[in-house]
Structure 1
Amino acid sequence: MIQAYSKEIASGFSDPSDEYLTENLQVIYSTSTEILHVKWFGEVGSKEFREGYSHILRMVRVHKPSKWILDLKNRELLNKEDQHWVFKNIFPQILRMLKQDVFIAVILPVPLYESLIHNIDGDDFIDNDNLLIMNHFLYYEECLRWLAEVQVADIS
């Protein structure tokens, strides 16, 4: 399953820092599309989940991706505390780090997406004038179309 996903997005990355892989997490930065692909698999414990996001943050520091695909369709449910931790700690940190709008395309079945975003405080998705914009999709191709359409402001 991981190999098929890698082949689907692997064009455009060549540096070993462009990929991180564990049994339950694959993170690839595609230099050709400038999209960070994060895919979680199976049952993920709290420790592994938080360690995975520390690797994701390292890749964000290196590549500064403003466009992401966060594929959660094959991941088991997380506990609410870990979900809350990502929204309260990781996403605001990414916004502060990048200092630009961030677009995250989430692949997840509709009922799971509803429970994921329930009780989210939108203030965690704003830093100065920059926004973290999350959109829900059922298929990978839809994510690519949306991310190709969004415009990231040039910060230089």
Structure 2
Amino acid sequence: MADDDLPLPIVESTDQEALTEAFGSPDAEPDPYTPRGTAFLWWQALQDPVHYRNALDNLSTNPSAWNGYRQAADLIADLSMLTGVEDNEEDPDIKYVRFIHYEGASSGQVFEDAEMRDFFVLTVVKPEESDWWLVWGLSDSYFPSRDEVRDL
């Protein structure tokens, strides 16, 4: 069995533990002032893109590009969001949040690094004119470059 065929090093945890890990406390509320908060709110709104269309539009850099958000919902609404936010080394106002398939009965926490080949990346950006982070795009198993995100 190859190393990449092994299960990810994840242990089940409570939802409270996962919220504490993601947002600093079990009572913390996600908000669009952080990359993780924006990713979480956008992902949750995908559970019902018709009902939460206004929230999705307000959390997106280009709402018309999502064509109603149905395809994004089909891709990641049922996935699990990793708590880590990854940096773009060239631009501090571009961040990445990964989503994976996780079959646990509750929340899970990763206990060591592992290579992942099958994941989705939500790219979030912080426009100069806004205090909010906004969703730029969704990609399958790769991190868009600064040039792609900034259309350079």
RCO higher in 1 or 2 (8 Å CA, sep ≥ 6)?
A: 2
Structure index of larger Rg: 2
Same fold (TM over 0.5): no
**Structure showing the higher helix proportion among its residues:** 1
What TM-score, normalized to structure 2?
0.31
